[in-house]
Structure 1
Amino acid sequence: MGQEDTLYEAPLSVYTEVYTETDVGILIKNPDAERAVRELAELTGESLTTAVEIAVRERLAAKRREARPHRPRSAAEMDAITRKYLTPEALAGLLPPITKTDFDDLNEIPGYDGSET
């Protein structure tokens, strides 16, 4: 790969971590947003690009910290969730257990008759 490569007919820079289009930047059409970016750049002494990059990275990091990490649920937690949505009849044991036929009827695949070929 040379200094530049193309993807979807647009020249791309290979000097960044990810490909970015070199002939297209971000167009900010909101005057308030543009003023805020310019003010931030002036206050920090950074270029517009650097000010935006740092601000975006900081906001992304904060949002990522807020996100709860995925944790597998225990069997007890899954049981509690299931019980939350059971009807009183089901909780009282008044409903017969579901059979494979019941399950298949509930999850019928159109055009599939279930017979072996």
Structure 2
Amino acid sequence: MPPKVTDTRTASAEALHAVEAETALAARRIVATYSHDFLDAVTLSCMLGVEPEGLIYRKVAAEHEEAQPKKAAKRTRKAAAKKTTKKAAKKTTKKTAAKKTTKKTTKKTTKKA
């Protein structure tokens, strides 16, 4: 059986923590570059686990919701607009069909003569 391998790291825990802080800072910079607004940046950094110390996503999201203006509900009448366009389309097709039949009858009479 092989002998046990002991930890041979010479770096201290403080040095490892410094590397983690540098990595988190670099990740925050990348998140800030690719985010569209502040809430997006906070959301992404919290999802990745690189948020600054003391940042609480729930508080930021609640403040953002309060700052957004509430929109009034509007009802649109799209059904009425669709009916009128269908009626207009039917009228135009009827007119073109009538024109085609008159052209055909005039062509027939000129061929017979």
Which TM class, normalised by the smaller chain length?
under 0.3
With normalisation by structure 2, the TM-score equals 0.25
Name the structure with the higher strand share. Answer: 1
Q: Which protein shows a greater Rg?
A: 2
Which structure would you say has the larger RCO, counting Cα contacts within 8 Å and 6 or more residues apart?
A: 2
